Amino acid sequence: MNMIRRERLTSETRALANKPHSGFMFVGRPSAVGNPFVIGRDGSRSDVIGRFEQWFDSDTGLQGEFLRAARYAWKPGFGIMLLCYCHANEACHADVLVTFLKERSK
Ligand SMILES: [Zn+2]
């Protein structure tokens, strides 16, 4: 059963991330889909996630690049785990990316 989720980056998953069919993809900064909006400078945590969503939704080129990279890292029978620095109990821009991938894999 394939899943699409996100979790906090660890040294173990960092070593696997973005390798073909590893099942792990790094989406924090400075990756192409790292959030360019920063907590504090650009607003609260929920503000910067909202701004990321608008920015990502408006860039079909970036969406295509992200989809290709996610397919590259996708592990059959496992799916994909998106990795960011945020803790699991914090909202994260990667939640936007999880929703995007789920909508495209229906
Ligand atoms: Zn995050």
Q: What is the mean pLDDT of residues 21-25?
A: 98
Q: State the pairing for strand pair 79-84/3-8.
A: parallel
The total number of structural domains in the chain stands at 1
Q: Name the amino acid, one letter, at 50.
A: G
On the question of pLDDT at 105 being above 90, the answer is: no
In the reported structure, the alpha carbon of residue 92 is separated from the centroid of ligand 1 by a whole-number distance in angstroms of 4
pTM of the predicted structure, to 2 decimals:
0.96
pLDDT tens-digit map of 45-89: 999 999 999 999 999 999 999 999 999 999 999 999 999 999 999
Rounded CA separation 44/61 (Å) = 27
In the reported structure, the alpha carbon of residue 84 is separated from the centroid of ligand 1 by a whole-number distance in angstroms of 5
Instruction: Kindly report the backbone phi and psi dihedral angles of residue 103, in degrees, each rounded to the nearest multiple of 5, phi listed first.
Output: -65, -30
CA diameter of the chain: 40
Range of the domain at 87: 3-104
CB 26 within 8 A of CB 18: yes
Which pLDDT band holds residue 98 (cuts at 50, 70, 90)?
Answer: very high
Q: Name the amino acid, one letter, at 25.
A: M
pLDDT at 72: 97
